[in-house]
A and B are shown apart, each in its own frame.
Chain A
């Protein structure tokens, strides 16, 4: 291969195919080279080319040839090359499935070509790239087998675009509508349209129903506003626990910032949301999960809780009872405990 022009992979494979089959490789694209041309080009059948990748020792490698001429497809070549190392084992050789006969190759008259040996793509390409023979053969043979240097590509002269005839020109609206109508008769198109409409409708319905689900007709929840009794039921310094189970609050009459207040503390730990217990003996709220502790007024002092317990809104109702509103919370770290809605001064 005198010229160093780079070959495309397709050309390389074609060349290698031709070399393997012993057929003429003049025209890589030609599907079925005539026997005459082959004989002329070949002179003598090529010696069996040793695959570059085959084991070094002279193991008998079962030649995998396509019937009738040995033109192998890339897939066949790769399959055969993979089998080649295992061919030494008789079982493997037996088990090796015969390559699928190619109809084109089968149709073509049998060639007196030497059986080609399978090679892997890398070795084929490598050999082709190096421009050397793929196996033991003389230089003359190699030269004979080498694909003809690609003819210089003719410069393509683009003829001037012909003027668009009338019928090819964009149609007016009416004509377009007619074509549209014919398109719509397309079965697949109709089905697709129906499918998308269905998906759209069902999706919309689902979304609407989900939104509806968020607003149930009947809400079985304790009311967010409830009365807990008259202020004199909560003597100073006492933590009333009896509302914890039902409402999740403690009603505490304790001193905060020098002022005696009745407050409603939310019974949720500010660390990770467990329910603390009021320990009367230690005068503190203690969380069982990670040991956070809170003073009677709700201020955190031990364990990992980062902020005090939260307060619910509390007020004196018109009938003199204490009313707790769970829809509003007051956080000490936000400075909300000074809000008069968060306590009842005693």
Chain B
């Protein structure tokens, strides 16, 4: 997109975006300050004494000052002059590039989301959330001056992902915020917030008008988007030439990431079907009647954690990974790293059967003598993959009863055999992805069961 531009031309392009961007940030903070001041909800953080006068230093004033900072940053960014434009320091970019990889990214996201969850009472505080929100937007603005970052983020394909990250952060915060309030209220024996707001309104005009306005606004936004960011058309398709990197539509990038660790038959057919079927099965598996019609976390902790793990970790972060951080040859590239098609990543993936026979037993893998009948060949194949087959069967058959006897004892008693087995197997299938990811990273393991002769790999 910025190919053929000199550094100065590139900075000019970015500047025409960043100037208005910082003004918008300033406006955002100014409006927040105005709202806090007018509604009288601004909190006094500390007071400054000047002789007889005390000057209350409220949150409204802090956001107003931040707005001024952004106002000052705007013309600097608009200058299009490398020395003046506020940008990420070089050492930080280098550090981020060198420290990130699939492992750091995936594990880091899980850790980060866990911290957010455990300390949610702190993070839902509107002041904290506003600071984080500003930091996210500031990070985006400061990173834009980096050419490689800009290439990824400003690509018309990827703009929805940037919006998705921001929107998802906001909505997850909103839901958690309400849930924390409700949990507190329930702990005090009060009704949840949603129960107070039971005033009935009419479909016409209240709902239909709202829908109409939303419809018009959304249409206007889509038209603006279509004009501002032209669809990235590529050269005519060819069956013998695959673009590099070749990416699925953004909403399937989680699946594409899954395909890196699984056979296409598993990651392309079985697991997606199980996702759909599992989501449909939730109402029948769920026996917890609490949390109907209001936000809560404490009353449905198990369901909340499982769902957020499946959605935020295994769907959203994989989409972000696939969109922004996977480059040519599906290699991992840091956010400020040049997409080098010749980046060498030394990998030598092996199957479990190879590790078992060649490394541990130190003997060649059992191979049927050529020309032997099918039954003999099948026997040899099953013998070759026996460890993987035993492990996989044990995982899906032996683990659910073990879970019922130990960790999930209460769930088993509440749910009964069939519902519990369904839930346990769905959970195990979901867990199989992170397990295989870890095995790949740690042992370079390709397949636990590898029978390419029958297109059966797991």
Chains A and B belong together in one complex: yes
Q: Which residues of A contact B (CB under 8 A)?
A: 244-246, 248, 267, 270-272, 274-277, 279, 281-282, 286-291, 293, 301-304, 306-307, 333-335, 338
Q: In the assembly, what is the distance between CA of A227 and CA of B268, in Å?
A: 37
Residue of B nearest to A273 (CB): B264
Other CB < 8 Å A-B pairs besides A279-B342, A282-B344, A333-B453, 6 of them? A288-B244, A288-B328, A289-B330, A290-B330, A291-B331, A306-B447
Of A272, A281, A334, which one neighbours B264 at CB under 8 angstroms?
A: A272
Answer whether residue B259 sits at the interface, using C-beta atoms and an 8 A cutoff: yes
**Contact present for A286 and B329 (CB under 8 Å):** yes
Contacts of B453 in A (CB 8 A): 333-334
Asked if residues A288 and B347 are in contact (CB atoms below 8 Å), the reply is no
Q: Which of B239, B256, B345, B452 is the one whose CB lies under 8 Å from A290?
A: B256
Q: Which residues of A contact B264 (CB under 8 A)?
A: 271-272, 304
CA of A287 to CA of B125, assembled, Å:
47
Q: How far is the CA of A244 from the CA of B241 in the complex (A)?
A: 9
Q: Are A248 and B342 in contact (CB under 8 A)?
A: no
Given known pairs A282-B342, A335-B370, the reply for A291 and B240 (CB within 8 Å) is no
Provide 25 A-B residue pairs closer than 8 Å at the C-beta atoms, listed in order of the A residue.
A245-B238, A245-B241, A248-B240, A272-B259, A274-B242, A275-B241, A276-B242, A277-B244, A277-B329, A281-B342, A288-B328, A288-B329, A288-B330, A289-B242, A289-B259, A290-B256, A290-B259, A290-B330, A291-B330, A293-B347, A301-B348, A301-B349, A306-B447, A333-B452, A335-B370
Residue of A whose beta carbon sits closest to that of B263: A306
Residues on the B chain within 8 Å of A276, using CB: 242
* A288 touching B243, Cβ below 8 Å: yes
- How far in angstroms is the closest Cβ of chain A from B435? 15
Binding site for A on B (CB under 8 A): 238-246, 256, 259-264, 268, 328-331, 341-342, 344-345, 347-349, 370, 446-447, 450, 452-453, 457
In the complex formed, the residue of A with least CB distance to B243 is A288
Q: How long is the Cα–Cα vector from A293 to B331 in the complex, in angstroms?
A: 11
The winner among A291, A304, A333, A338 for most chain B CB atoms within 10 A is A304
Interface contact A303-B450, CB-CB below 8 Å: no
Q: Distance (Å) between the CB of A72 and the closest chain B CB?
A: 34
- Nearest Cβ on chain A to B439's Cβ, whole angstroms: 13
Measured between beta carbons, the chain A residues less than 8 angstroms from B240 are 244-246, 248, 267, 275
Q: Which residues of B contact A334 (CB under 8 A)?
A: 453
Q: A302 touching B242 by the CB < 8 A rule?
A: no
Distance A248 CA – B239 CA, assembled complex (angstroms): 8
Chain B residue at smallest Cβ distance from A281? B342
Partner of A291, one of B262, B329, B348, B452: B329
Please indicate the chain A residues that have their CB under 8 angstroms from the CB of B256 in the complex: 289-290
Return B417 CB to nearest CB of chain A, in Å. Answer: 36
Contact (Cβ within 8 A) B347 A303: yes
Q: Is the CB of A287 within 8 A of B239?
A: no
Please name all residues of chain A whose beta carbon is closer than 8 Å to the beta carbon of B259 when the two chains form the complex: 271-272, 289-290, 304
| Bound complex: CA A303 to CA B328 (Å) | 14
B255 to chain A, nearest CB (A): 11
Ranked nearest first, the 8 interchain pairs of A and B with the lowest CB-CB distance are A291-B330, A307-B452, A288-B244, A302-B347, A275-B242, A333-B452, A274-B242, A306-B452
Within 8 Å by CB of B329, from A267, A287, A333, A335, lies A287
Chain B: CB-nearest residue to A332: B452
Most chain B Cβ neighbours within 10 Å, of A244, A270, A277: A277
Rounded to whole angstroms, the CA-CA distance of A3 and B243 in the bound complex is 87
Q: B347, A338: Cβ atoms under 8 Å?
A: no
Please report the C-alpha to C-alpha distance between residue A82 and residue B393 in the assembled complex, in whole angstroms: 58
Report A-chain residues with C-beta under 8 Å of the C-beta of B450. 306
Interchain CB contact under 8 A, A304 and B344: no
A276 and B240 alpha carbons, distance in the complex (Å)? 9
Chain A's closest residue to B241 (CB) is A275
Contacts of A333 in B (CB 8 A): 452-453
Which of A248, A275, A303, A306 lies in contact with B457, CB distance below 8 A?
A: A306
User: Taking A272-B268, A288-B245, A288-B329 as contacts, is the C-beta distance between A304 and B347 under 8 angstroms?
Assistant: no
Complex CA–CA separation, A284 to B447 (angstroms): 21
Would A302 and B349 count as touching, CB distance under 8 A? yes
* CB <8 Å contact, A304 and B370: no
CA distance A335 to B447 in the complex (A): 20
> Which chain B residue shows the least CB distance to A274?
B242
Residues of chain A within 8 A (CB-CB) of B261 are 304
Query: Chain A nearest CB: distance from B456 CB in Å?
Result: 9
A290-B347 in contact (CB<8A):
no
How far does the Cβ of B273 sit from chain A's closest Cβ, in whole Å? 17
Smallest beta-carbon distance A293→chain B, Å:
7
Residues in B with CB closer than 8 Å to A289 are 242, 245-246, 256, 259, 330
Tell me which residues across on chain A come within 8 A of B342, comparing CB atoms: 279, 281-282
C-alpha gap A6/B5 in the complex (Å): 93
What is the CA–CA distance of A304 and B457 in the complex, to the nearest angstrom? Answer: 10
Contact partners of A279 in chain B: CB under 8 A:
341-342
Q: Would A304 and B452 count as touching, CB distance under 8 A? A: no
Bound complex: CA A306 to CA B449 (Å): 10
A293 to B343, alpha carbons, bound, how many Å? 13
Name the A residues within 8 Å of B349 (CB-CB). 301-303
A245 surroundings in chain B (CB, below 8 A) = 238, 240-241
CB contacts (< 8 Å) of B341 on chain A: these are 279
User: In the docked arrangement, what's the CA distance between A281 and B261, Å?
Assistant: 26
The minimal Cβ–Cβ distance linking B371 to chain A, given in whole angstroms, is 9
Closest residue to B328 on the A side, CB-wise? A288
Note all chain A residues with C-beta closer than 8 A to B347.
293, 301-303
Which residues on B sit within 8 Å (CB–CB) of A290? Answer: 256, 259-260, 330
CB distance from A301 to the nearest CB of B (A): 6
Smallest CB gap from A338: residue in B: B370
Q: Report Cα–Cα, A275/B245, bound state, in Å.
A: 11
**Cross-chain contact B262 with A288 (CB below 8 angstroms):** no
CA distance A300 to B238 in the complex (A): 24
- A179–chain B nearest beta-carbon distance, Å: 56
The residues of B that contact A288 with a CB separation of less than 8 Å are: 242-246, 328-330
B370 to chain A, nearest CB (A): 6
Across-interface contacts of A291 in B (CB, < 8 A): 260, 329-331
CA distance A281 to B242 in the complex (A): 19
Residue of chain A at shortest CB distance from B261: A304
Q: How far is the CA of A128 from the CA of B428 in the complex (A)?
A: 56
* Closest Cβ neighbor of A247 among chain B residues: B240
Instruction: List chain B residues, Cβ under 8 A from A306.
Output: 263, 446-447, 450, 452, 457
Min Cβ gap A302→B in Å is 4
- How far, in Å, is A165 (CB) from chain B's closest CB? 63
Chain B residues whose CB sits within 8 angstroms of the CB of A304 once the complex forms: 259-264, 446
What's the nearest-Cβ distance from chain B to residue A11, in Å? 42
Nearest CB in chain A to that of B332: its residue: A291
**What residues on A are CB-neighbors of B446 within 8 Å?**
304, 306
Give the Cβ gap from B119 to chain A, nearest Cβ, in Å: 36
